[in-house]
Amino acid sequence: MDDVSDDAPVVVAYQTIQRKRDGLELEAAELEGFFRAYGAGTVPDYQMAAFLMAVFFRGLSPAELAALVEVNLRSGAVVDLSDVSARKVDKHSTGGVGDKVSIPLAPLVSCLGVAVPMISGRGLGHTGGTLDKLETIPGFRTDLSLAEFRRQVAGIGSALIGQTGEIAPLDRKLYALRDVTGTVESIPLIASSIMGKKLAEGIDALLLDVKRGPGAFLPELDRALLLARTMIAIGERYGREVVALVTAMDRPLGYAVGNALEIEESILLLQGEGPPDLRQLTLAQAAEMLVLGGVAASLDAGQRLAEQALADGRALAQLRRIVEAQGGNPAVADDPALLPQAPVQKVVEAERDGWVAEVAARAIGEAAVALGAGRATLDAAIDAAVGFHITAKPGDRVGRGQPLATVHARTPAQGQAGAAALRVAIRIAGEEPAAALPLISHRVTRAGVAEL
């Protein structure tokens, strides 16, 4: 990270916090100086936490947002992938429960000739993180150096890493702080976090999966659409094409929630199995990326290419290549039992006949964090093996005693606690419930919003 240079403005941190708290607009230089000082360690976590909370309530002006994107992006190196001839396209999700799409998507799209340089985050709040999931693969390194990252993208078409000390290190620090200070759910903070690191990774285009519904950081559709438009506008300023799909996060995606469990489900998908909703969303995102990458002329053509690559094993073979290149054991692609396994498994059954009225994504995400699958404090370790496998979906007809889910836990007491949480989160009603949110409801581009 850059040091604070001699000519940077003197940042009096508490005054910057007060100005933001009082709703005044900060000069770009003041905002950048404050964030750079935080990156350099001279503004402590507690002052940044107070500032972030002020942003949560006051928002950022367009000029402040532009300054924050710029400071995030410039906090580390901007990767130059100009020697990779394929178009470089990444995808980022605003965060969900059970959202493991990036894991099958990167091999699926990159095996079809679009380069996918992917920089991902860790679990945030009640949502899981791609990095935490990937690190459950024995040996898998997410901390490649910039040179290794570049070499791997040029060599096999994809690499999946975290914000290293080299790429967007400021966002890594802010992200971890926001995770434990109740400051995630802010449009400018989410937009600057995502776009800062994505613009640093050398991409030509970006696909965003913007979640909405009670399990998303921004549950309301209008806020999800505003976030999508905000990120598209940031991309435009930097000359990058950005497309966003708005997708459902009222229930978890797929069946698995928990780090190793989600890797296992991703592998099943690449083996041609896996839950239908995960398959549908992965194929839709792959089609968008193949069009953005210039490999498919239409979304239909992209979808067909992706379906073929799943069916004939090319995407699975590409996962093996990526895992091996990053030091992991490629045999997991054929034998997910090599992943960490929880010692306790407890089945949760329906307590009555009826319809599944709700599978509450947020409550399930929070229960997964309580089991150890996510972090409650900055330096907490996560438990790779724990989580849930929930096959019940909203609208399913179920009979008393029918299995709805399995809790994977470290101890019997945790298994009981997880089961109790699921009995509340999976609500069974006597009458057929209203339809859940459509899996993919809107497509947002520079041209506007299309309802699907």
Between 101 and 385, whose beta carbon lies closer to ligand URA?
101
Q: Is 92 marked active-site?
A: yes
Instruction: In whole angstroms, give the CA distance from residue 256 to residue 317.
Output: 22
Options 110, 193, 247, 326; binder of ligand URA; rule CB under 6 A? 193
Window 333 to 362, contacts with ligand URA (CB under 6 A)? none
247 binds ligand URA (CB under 6 A): no
CB atoms within 10 A of CB 111: 25
**Interface pick for ligand URA out of 98, 104, 121, 293 (rule CB under 6 A):** 121
Specify the stretch interacting with ligand URA by CB under 6 A; choose among 11-19, 186-194, 304-312, 414-422: 186-194
Binders in 149-178 for ligand URA, by CB under 6 A? 175
Q: What tokens appear for 283 in the block?
A: 């194929």
At closest approach, how far in Å is the CB of 193 from ligand URA? 3
- 20, 100, 178, 362: which is the annotated catalytic residue? 178
Q: Which residue, 113 or 219, is less far from ligand URA as judged by CB?
A: 219
**Is-catalytic flag, 408?**
no
Cβ closest to ligand URA, residue 56 vs residue 355: 56
Among the options 88, 126, 197, 375, which is catalytic?
197
Whole-angstrom Cα distance, residue 383 to residue 416? 17
Residue 182: C-alpha distances to residues 101, 186, 251, 375 (Å): 25, 10, 22, 13
Residue from 68, 111, 134, 194 in contact with ligand URA (CB under 6 A) = 194
Residue 188 in contact with ligand URA, rule: CB under 6 A: no
Residue 383 among the catalytic residues: no
Question: How far is the C-alpha of 55 from the C-alpha of 69, rounded, in Å?
Answer: 14
Closer residue to ligand URA, CB minimum distance, 123 or 258? 123
Distance of CA 280 to the CA centre of its chain: 17
Q: Is 197 noted as a catalytic residue in this protein?
A: yes
229 or 389: CB nearest ligand URA: 229
Indicate if 178 belongs to the active site.
yes
Nearer to ligand URA, 122 or 389 (CB): 122
CB of 337 vs ligand URA, minimal distance in Å: 31
Query: Which lies closer to ligand URA via its Cβ, residue 181 or residue 271?
Result: 181
# residues near ligand URA by CB under 6 A: 10
With CB under 6 A as the contact rule, the residue among 116, 190, 323, 421 that binds ligand URA is: 190
What gap in Å lies between CA 180 and CA 173, rounded to an integer?
12
Among 94, 102, 303, 318, binds ligand URA (CB under 6 A): 94
- Residue (of 100, 121, 126) closest to 368 by Cα position: 126
Rounded to a whole number of angstroms, the minimum distance from the CB of residue 156 to ligand URA is 24
User: What's the CA gap between 22 and 181, in Å, rounded?
Assistant: 20
Task: Compute the distance between CA of residue 248 and CA of residue 82 in angstroms, rounded to an integer.
Answer: 35
Residues 155, 21: contact at Cβ < 8 Å? no
Q: Is 95 among the residues that bind ligand URA (CB under 6 A)?
A: yes
Task: Tell me which residues are annotated as active site.
Answer: 92, 171, 178, 193, 197
| Residues of the shown chain interacting with ligand URA in the complex, contacts defined by CB under 6 A | 94-95, 121, 124, 175, 184, 189-190, 193-194
